Each structure stands twice: as structure tokens, then as C-alpha cells.
Amino acid sequence: MKEQTLNLEIIFKDKNLRKTLDSFFVQIYDEGNKLIFENDVETNNKDKVKGYPITLPGGHVAGILRTKEKYKDALMKLIQYEINQFFKIEKNEHLDLRFSDLLKDYVRFLGEGFTFNSKKTDFFLVNYLNIMKGYFIFEGVQLFLVEEDNFIYPYMDFSNKDVKYSDSNINTDLIDLAQAICTVQKKLYIEDCKTDTFLRSTIPGVEFKYDNLLSFPLFQGNDKLGCIVFYNFKSKKLDGDKIEEIQSFVSLVSRYFMNFKNFEKQDKTNLIFRDLKKYVSKQMVGLRKNKDVSLVGVEKNITVLFGQIHGFQKIYKILGPKKLMYLLNIHYEFLIKIAESFGGTVDKILGESLMVIWNHPFEQSNPNDLSYQAAKKMIECARESIKPIWSSLGISNYSYGIGINSGLAVAGNLGSKKFMDFTVIGDTVNVAQRLETQTGPWEILIHENVYKNFKGEVDKSLVMVDGIKLKGKAFETKAYLYNKK
């Protein structure tokens, strides 16, 4: 009985995915005991491909994969790996994948329980090289990748026995040859390694286990990615057509590693920004990722909140550095989350003091309301949640106060070439800080500039305080007091 053949039909609904179709498997079919892959860009047999993929109306693209039943699981894992590598899928409707047999019994492809394969597994790459081994019949292949300093390092050795990675014991005899191939960006075929003069001059004094070698540089455009070296072909001599055919397969390996390189670069970038968010507000990190946004100096209306732990010097002497840092981290873990939840941008932490700004770097319609709402929530949290933790470690006099002001300030980068801080400066900031020094436990003092510009309902519990004397100010200041009783 003839073995049943399965078709996989793929329809990409997002036209932006079309650009990656040249590296996607379009047909896989069985010929004798070999599993052969074809695609429309660099195909080995155009008659069998029959023009796939097909462009459909509306910018959609369709492709067909065909294989025997026994290859179904391996093929579907391979395709899933491709999808995860090349396509950012946020919603299922971005593409419609259906698996059908000859009876046209369709099943949702994404509903088959696929899982992401880690890069270290390299399921796609190993399977692809295995296909090449079965078709071109060689003993093994070594892959070398280019590091940031343009030097080559061994990435993978795939032989008849197993797959070894750079953290395993890979034979490095060919690393100098790979470096040369990558530098000159030209393929090299050595029919007899034992007698080849070029090989002997490039890698002197090495006793080779290889009979023959075929090497290609891996690149995409001007990007040097690495080098691939095939060794010990069964055929004693490869003609030009066969070498060109192998090169067509190698181009997909280049595309794979270009994608790998981009993912690796993005991973590093994301790691940097993830760590940066621990030291800089997430809003500022977002701006640094957006290269179109300027962080040069600008004068604008902002709202500034200054919060401070009272009696900090006495607390420091009681606790000592280790316990103090532990409690401060708890303190700021709570308060920073509250400030950011009300749209605030954390400008800096100065020991016992916290500075948060509104209406910069992003414009906000009601920065004064947001700052006051955040301040009330921070006072409530400090009294109800943070104080008991400090009390348990012997600090019974922990309390917190907040000052808020609004007005013109200068915002921008401040510092030197080696160290730069994005901050706001000006009298508006100074007044907010000095208002805080006038607060008692669990109190908020807001400048009349803030009070006058509330856009929502004014808190009736606020009490006007006139005649406040602030350091450095010739005239008395009017403010409004909130006291959490």
C-alpha cells in the first residue's frame, strides 16, 4: 500500500511577512530514501517547485509543503522553529496555518501544541544540515561565526556521530582557514587535503584527518557572519555545477545566521535596557530607545514632588549600613511603583529623598492632580505598610513628608562626556524640596501654584497655610497642607 502523503498549506495574512518567504521551506518531498527541500529563490529543480510560493490578492502569500506521514512530526517542529525565529506572532490571526490530509480534514496548525525550541537546540539548523548530508553525501560540517572584533570562533561541528557546540571539545584545525575564507569572502574547494599547497601554507604543521574540503563565507549584504566548511565528500571530485548547487543551500544558512545575529543583538540591547531600568526611570529608558526623541535642554512647565524620610541621620546611626539599605530598598520599592502608577517620572533618589516629576518628558493634561493623588497614596502606603516593617527592626520613629511645586524649570542632560544625568533644575525644583522640609510626619505641603491649577475636584481636607518662610526666599510662601491623621 502506498504511503499517504500529507500537505501543509500556509497562508500569511500579513504582507510584511512576505520578505522572509525566500528563506521559508516551500516544498519538501521524498525521493527514494532522501528528504529533499526546494524553494522558489534558489531551487534545484524548478519543475518540481511549480512556482510556489503564490502571491494571493490583498498581498497575502501562500506556500505548500509536502512530505510523507513519517516525516510529519519532524517537519512540523522544523516549521514551528522557523515561525518563531522569523515571525513575531502576537495574535493568532496574523497568519492562518492549516494541516490537512488527502481527505481535506483541516486542523488548526497552531492548535497542535507546538512549543518554542531554544536557540541552543538549533533544531532547524541541524535538520537542514542533515538534509544536505543526505543529498550531497559528506561526512561532516563545521560552522564558524564572526565575533564583534571580527575574529572567528567555532560554533558547531556536525559529523556522522553527533553535534558539538563551542562549549564542547570541537576540533579547531580549520579555524585559520575559516578566518581566511571569511576575510577574502570567497569560496574554496580543496580536492585533496594531503597534497594541496595552499592548505599547507595556510595551516602549516597540522596533520589533517580530512580528505577534501569545500568552504563558503557566510554573509548577508556587507555583513560578515562567518564561514561553513564541509569535509570528506563521498565523491572524490566535485564539478562546478555541484559546487554551485551546494552554494544555493548555503545561502539559507547565511540567512539563518543573519537572523541569529539580529536576535542576539536584540537580546543584548534588551538586556542593557532591562538593567538600565533599574537605575533610570522606565520613561527615560523608553526615550533613549527612541532615537528620534531629543533629550537636549528645554524650558517648560513641570510639577515636582520631593519626598523625604524624617530624622534620617538618627535612623542611620541605629541601623548601620546593611539593615539601612535593606529597609530603604523596601521603602522605595513601594513608593516608586505608586509614583509611576500615577504617571510620574522618577528623576533621582538621594539617600532618604525621592524626586519625581510630571509633565516631562511626556506632556500630561493634569500633572498637578496626578502628583497630589500620588503623594496621598505614598503617604498612606508609608504609614500603613512601610512603617510596620521598619518598626519590626527597631525604628519606631519612621515617618515621611512630601512637598510639591509647579512652574518653569529647565530639563535636559547634565554632566560630562563620561557621565551624564538627565534631570530638571531651577527655582521650581528648589521650592518643592524646601516645602518638604517644612512638613511634619505624614504631611504633604503643596504650593499655591499647584492648588490653583487642579483640574479635578479640589480636596476639601486641604488647609491653607500662609506665611511659610523658605530658605533663600525673601517673601513668605502660601501653601496648602494635607495631614494623614
Q: What is the pLDDT of residue 160?
A: 64
Q: Residue 114's pLDDT is what?
A: 26
Q: What percent of the chain is modeled with pLDDT above 90?
A: 22
Quickly state the pLDDT bin for 185 (edges 50, 70, 90): confident
Q: pLDDT > 70: what percent of the chain?
A: 61
CATH superfamily entry for domain 120-276: GAF domain (3.30.450.40)
Q: Which residue has the higher pLDDT, 207 or 190?
A: 190
Greater confidence, 378 or 131?
A: 378
**In residues, how long is the chain?**
485
Residue range 24-46, pLDDT digits in tens: 433 334 444 443 444 333 323 33
Query: Measured between alpha carbons, how far is residue 408 from residues 423, 424, 427 in Å?
Result: 14, 10, 8
CA distance 405 to 430: 9
- Average pLDDT on 256-283 reads 54
Contact by Cβ (8 Å): 210, 193? yes
User: 288 or 49: which carries more pLDDT confidence?
Assistant: 288
144 neighbors 229 (Cβ within 8 angstroms): yes
Q: Which residue type, as a one-letter code, is found at position 188?
A: L
Q: Where are the domains of the chain?
A: 1-117, 120-276, 294-483
* pLDDT tens digit sequence for 292-329: 444 557 889 999 999 999 988 888 888 888 888 888 98
Q: What is the pLDDT of residue 409?
A: 93
Question: 396-428 burial, b if ≥16 CB within 10 A, otherwise e?
Answer: eebbbbbbbbbbebbbbeeeeeeeeebbbeeeb
The span from the CA of 97 to the CA of 6, in Å, is 14
Instruction: Enumerate residues 6+ apart whose C-beta is below 8 A from 151.
Output: 179
Interhelix angle 72-86/240-276, nearest 10 degrees = 50
Cα 22 to chain centroid distance, Å, stands at 25
Whether 176 contacts 203, CB under 8 Å: yes
Question: Residue 87: phi, psi to the nearest 5?
Answer: -120, 135
DSSP-derived 3-state class of residue 176:
helix
Whether 66 contacts 6, CB under 8 Å? yes
Q: What is the mean pLDDT of residues 346-371?
A: 91
Q: What is the dihedral of CA 178, 181, 184, 186, to 10 degrees?
A: -160
* Domains 120-276 and 294-483 equal at CATH topology level: no
CA distance 479 to 434: 12
Question: Do residues 231 and 138 touch, judged by C-beta distance below 8 A?
Answer: yes
pLDDT in tens, 64-122: 444 445 555 555 555 555 445 444 433 333 333 332 222 122 222 222 222 223 333 45
Tell me the average pLDDT of the chain. 71
Which residues, in sequence order, are bridge partners of residue 267?
Answer: none
Identify which has the larger pLDDT, 451 or 165: 451
- Provide the phi-psi class of 362: left if phi over 0, else alpha when psi is between -120 and 50, else beta: beta
CATH label, 294-483, candidates 3.40.50.300, 3.30.70.1230, 1.10.3710.10, 3.30.450.90:
3.30.70.1230
Q: What angle do CA 421, 427, 428 make, to 5 degrees?
A: 85
Q: At what angle do helices 123-136 and 72-86 cross, to 10 degrees?
A: 120
Confidence class for position 204, pLDDT limits 50, 70, 90 = low
